[in-house]
């Protein structure tokens, strides 16, 4: 297990370095960042002053390593638009995004796993077909359109939930449903497929032959092994929920880190954009690393694969 952990950790570090280089390079995709920050009416003296203030007059590789060293220590510089340290902005906004991501993940798992189990237990029945239809609709429907429809129905036609804001738990109900439902089909289909494979295996037939109850066979022997792929997918989906929250937070005006990213992009606030993207990437990498370790613990065969 220790060797496997070391290998996965090395891979996570290499991926982190690659992602950090890509995030840093975004600063130069639109041209000279100093010119973009100075504005169209700026003269050469203003541009040179901005280069000196932000370190753009140094070689690119020096800028990258200085920026990466600061990022590792939690120092992302000053926000161009908000005129405050970027780390303070993120600390202020991140709890909203985390609350949305966790609630959406819980919603997706609570809805998807029971549906997947029922679909597998009653294969080719109306329950199975209804669950598959739910999965198809969830995968085909754009999340922003679903969000707008929920706002129209539950905030205007039947005004029982707020359409925007993040002041109370009621403001998170509609965003949670939208973000969670988008991940539900993948969890449901994977649970159904994995459980169908496990239920036809030899050790499950042996457990049944020993006279174990159907519930014991399902939950103690079958579901534990069938759920292993869901663990990996849950980590990936949670990372996606955090990054995908940019759209959801914008639609529902939730002032989280995703909404901060949109504000920063629209206002050319490069330090904030870089910090949010790097932070989301780190979340994604760390969650994937932890999922690999959990899978290796659940299934020892993965350690020697």
- If DSSP states are collapsed to H, E and C, what string results for 9-63? HHHHHHHHHHHHHHHHHHHHCCCCHHHHHHCCCCCHHHHHHHHHHHCCCCCHHHH
Cα–Cα distance measured from residue 200 to residue 198, given in angstroms and rounded to the nearest whole number: 5
Distance CA 199, CA 208 (A): 10
DSSP helix/strand/coil, 86: helix
Name which residue leads in pLDDT, 159 or 209. Answer: 159
29, with CB counted inside 10 A (0-12, 13-18, 19+), is exposed
Task: Return the exposure string of 47-81: e unless at least 16 CB atoms fall within 10 Å of the residue's CB, then b.
Answer: beebbeebebeeeeeebbeebbeebeeeebbebbe
95-99, 201-205, 236-240, 283-287: which has the minimum mean pLDDT?
201-205
- How far apart are the C-alpha atoms of 17 and 73, rounded to whole Å? 15
Q: What are phi and psi of 264, to 5 degrees?
A: -70, -40
Has residue 149 got a pLDDT over 80? Answer: yes
Contact 90, 79 (CB under 8 A): no
Topology at the third CATH level for domain 89-268: MetI-like fold (1.10.3720)
Give percent above pLDDT 70 in the chain: 83
Instruction: Answer yes or no: pTM beyond 0.75.
Output: yes
pLDDT higher for 299 or 257? 257
Residue with tokens 């429907």: 141
pLDDT band at 258 (very low <50, low <70, confident <90, very high): confident
**Spatial CB neighbours of 85, under 8 Å, sequence gap ≥ 6:** 76, 77, 78, 79
pLDDT (average), residues 102-115: 89
32 pLDDT band, cuts 50/70/90, is low
* Tens of pLDDT, residues 280-297: 888 888 888 887 777 777
Q: Is the pLDDT of residue 305 over 60?
A: no
* Residues in the chain, total: 305
- pLDDT of 107: 92
How many angstroms separate the CA atoms of 22 and 281, rounded? Answer: 11
């Amino acid at each position: 297990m220790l060797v496997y952990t070391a290998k996965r950790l090395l891979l996570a570090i290499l991926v982190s370095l690659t992602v950090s280089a890509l995030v840093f390079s975004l600063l130069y995709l639109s041209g000279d960042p100093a010119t973009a920050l100075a504005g169209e009416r700026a003269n050469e003296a203003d541009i040179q002053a901005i280069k000196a203030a932000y370190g753009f007059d140094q070689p690119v590789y020096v800028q990258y390593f200085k920026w990466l060293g600061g990022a590792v220590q939690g120092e992302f510089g000053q926000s161009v638009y908000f005129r405050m340290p970027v780390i303070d902005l993120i600390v202020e906004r991140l709890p909203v995004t985390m609350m949305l991501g966790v609630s959406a993940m819980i919603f997706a798992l609570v809805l998807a796993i029971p549906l997947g189990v029922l679909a597998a237990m009653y294969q080719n029945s109306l329950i199975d077909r209804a669950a598959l239809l739910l999965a198809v609709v969830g995968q085909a429907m754009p999340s922003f359109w679903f969000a707008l429809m929920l706002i129209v129905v539950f905030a205007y036609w039947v005004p029982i939930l707020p359409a925007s804001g993040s002041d109370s738990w009621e403001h998170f109900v509609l965003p949670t449903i939208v973000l969670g439902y988008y991940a539900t089909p993948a969890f449901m289909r994977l649970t159904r497929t994995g459980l169908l494979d496990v239920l036809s295996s030899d050790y499950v037939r042996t457990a049944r032959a020993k006279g174990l109850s159907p519930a014991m066979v399902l939950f103690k022997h079958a579901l534990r092994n069938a759920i292993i792929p869901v663990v990996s997918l849950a980590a990936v989906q949670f990372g996606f929920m955090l990054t995908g929250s940019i759209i959801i937070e914008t639609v529902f005006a939730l002032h989280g880190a995703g909404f901060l990213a949109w504000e920063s992009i629209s206002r050319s606030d490069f330090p904030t954009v870089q910090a949010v993207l790097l932070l989301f990437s780190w979340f994604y990498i760390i969650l994937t690393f932890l999922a690999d370790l959990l899978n290796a613990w659940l299934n020892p065969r993965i350690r020697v694969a």
